[in-house]
Amino acid sequence: MFITIMGALLIFTISSAMMAISSTLSKKSFTDREKSSPFECGFDPKSSPRLPFSLQFFLIAVIFLIFDVEIALLIPLVSILKMSKIFFFWGIAFFFIVVLLLGLYHEWNQGALEWAT
């Protein structure tokens, strides 16, 4: 027990020291307007460096990622089929798919899937 506590204390001390050292070494001594501005062949930029981003595209991408992860969670159900009773397998699979369909219906009802507005 004593060895575990001492080991944890040693690891905590070393990691804290490394974070403090890296924090002090990473500080910049000065800020220059020219160095912090975007570089455009040595001239001042003619337009804003920030481009407008479509919020609709972002929503579609997030919805795609959510459903993609949920489909990836469905894949292990196939390996569970041999280990579980068929009634429990179909119950879990049906519940999971119903939750997916309810989420899709909610997004459709909120208008997040309408691209041309």
DSSP 69-103: HHHHHHTHHHHHTTTS-HHHHHHHHHHHHHHHHHH
Position 30 scores a pLDDT of 58
Flag whether pLDDT at 40 surpasses 60: no
For residue range 14-38, list pLDDT tens digits in order. 999 999 998 888 766 556 666 666 6
Position 43 scores a pLDDT of 63
For residue range 94-110, list pLDDT tens digits in order. 998 898 889 889 888 88
Name the residue among 31, 32, 34 with its Cα closest to residue 43: 34
The domains of the chain are located at 2-36, 55-110
What percentage of the chain's residues is helix, strand, coil (to nearest 5)?
65, 0, 30
Q: What three-state secondary structure class fits 46?
A: coil
pTM score, whole prediction: 0.47
Higher pLDDT, 37 or 80: 80
